[in-house]
Homo-oligomer: A and B are copies of this chain.
Amino acid sequence: MESVKVLGLNASPRKYGNTYKLLEVALETASIYGAETKLIHIYDYDIKPCEGCLSDEQLACRPPCINNDDSWALMKEVLGSDALIIATPVFWYGPSGHLKNLIDKLTIFENMIFVDGKSWVEGKVAGFIAVGAEAGAVMTIAYLMSVFNSFGYLIPPWALAYYQGMDDALKSREAVMDSANVGKIVVEVAKLLRNNNSLWKWYEPNILEILKGKNVLERIANKVENLRKETSSKRAETVKKLLQTKPDDYKL
């Protein structure tokens, strides 16, 4: 069977910095665990800022993007990979602006929900590495997780690694171990998904029909009604009592 493809994105302008190093740790490990890997320095690509066509017309946000830049070349790489490992420097508690511009462009794949019935990156796998001289790594990673999950990416256990400091990140036992594990785990999950093809349709757009067939919403509405009855008289009493207190009595 074909290997899973892991794409590593280096979102740092510095090709030889700590961000790059930890990304290489993750990719080399991914390779040990059987993946075909590729590393891209996104600063080698011209990415113009998103023009927000979506807000004029939902269906207009589609490949290959209106921007006359390298976005589509980069997006094609994302599309052709089973898993992404995104390594970013922490620029003011967030990803580099260049990576943010790429993220804004990736809307194209998510927006296929409306154009094509399904996000084109649904069920892919993502891991994250953040590196900064100072604080902000976790904030950066929390941000990235929420975004890529909203694109339809699966986030495996321990899908995060970070290094905060100015020394050689390769000397940080914890940063290297965590980055290597991001590589290992991303591959394992990607393999698992590939071997279970049938699951790759995740979001079920017809789920309301299924709920309807089982009267789920009615059933819940009834449960709610009962719970309300059980507790509402006590709460109503509380509210009533509170409404009688005079805020002025509590001013200092």
Contacts and interface: CB of A to CB of B under 8 A. Distances in A.
Given A202-B185, A208-B180, A157 B153 contact: yes
Most chain B CB inside 10 Å of its own CB: which residue of A97, A155, A225, A231: A97
A1 interface: no
A55 B207 contact: no
B160 A157 contact: no
Contacts of A219: 28
A39 to B, nearest CB: 10
30 contacts: A14-B231, A15-B227, A15-B230, A16-B228, A24-B223, A28-B220, A32-B214, A49-B97, A52-B91, A62-B242, A64-B250, A66-B238, A92-B150, A93-B147, A94-B100, A94-B147, A116-B247, A120-B251, A123-B157, A139-B142, A142-B142, A143-B143, A145-B145, A145-B149, A152-B158, A176-B211, A177-B207, A184-B204, A185-B203, A192-B192
Copies in the assembly, this chain: 4
A111 B173 CA distance: 18
Given A76-B250, A91-B104, A142-B142, 6 more contacts: A14-B56, A16-B232, A28-B214, A59-B243, A141-B146, A185-B202
A162 B138 CA distance: 14
B92 A53 contact: no
Contacts of A101: 49, 97-98, 100-101
Given A149-B145, A203-B185, A177 B91 contact: no
Nearest to A66: B238
